[in-house]
Amino acid sequence: MGKASAETAWVAPYHDAWNSHDGGRVAAFMAEDVTYEDLAGGAVFHGRDEVAAYVAATHVWSTDYRFVAVTTQSSGGSYAVEWEMLGTNTGAFGALPPTGKPYRIRGVSVGRLNDAGEIATNRDYFNVADYLAQVGLFPPPA
């Protein structure tokens, strides 16, 4: 990834917060009334407390996950961040058992910052079938 623009300079520290697995650090990037959607998981979180709890839940199924930015784009207050998430399935993923297998998935976060530079809305997209196949919980494509 090339040098971040002033509009996307927040992405690296934001991923550092995610990589710390500290929900409070992640939620600090959010507006108080943020709407955060995990489209692959079919979940919507409202407010910083729900986002912090979501980060804690993510840590349950992958205690070593980390995010790496691939590309970042912004226009005004809108952004798109393509990322990779890497780690190991170390805990249950919903009702599915842990497998101990590694994964590397690509995804994108699309959203809008408020006037204070906080995340006001965020939508995460990734291929959950790819994740499940990599960790052995779903048959790989033929």
Mean pLDDT (10-residue bins), the chain, 142 residues: 69 97 98 97 96 93 95 95 97 89 97 97 95 87 66
Tokens linked to 118: 């906080």
d(CA 116, CA 22): 22
The answer as to whether 124 is a domain residue is yes
Residue 60 lies in a domain: yes
In-domain check, residue 88? yes
In this structure, the strands spanning 43-46 and 102-113 are unpaired
pLDDT of residue 142: 66
Q: Is residue 33 a part of any domain in this protein?
A: yes
Cβ atoms of 112 and 77 within 8 Å: the answer is: yes
DSSP 34: E
pLDDT value, residue 139: 78
Q: For residues 23 and 34, is the Cβ–Cβ distance under 8 A?
A: no
Residue 62 forms part of a structural domain: yes
Instruction: Determine, yes or no, domain membership for 80.
Output: yes
Residue-number span of the structural domain to which 10 is assigned: 6-134
Could you tell me if residue 65 is left (phi over 0), alpha (psi between -120 and 50 degrees) or otherwise beta?
beta
pLDDT the model gives residue 141: 65
Q: Rounded CA gap, 83 and 66, in Å?
A: 10
Query: Looking at the 3D structure of the chain, how many domains does it have?
Result: 1
Quote the pLDDT of residue 1. 43
Q: What is the CATH number of the domain that holds 23?
A: 3.10.450.50
Q: Which residues of 30-65 form beta strands (DSSP E)?
A: 30-38, 43-46
The answer to whether residue 17 sits within a structural domain is yes
| pLDDT recorded at residue 93 | 81
- Residue 88 tokens, joined: 């190991």
In a domain, residue 40? The reply is yes
Q: Is-above-0.75 flag for pTM?
A: yes
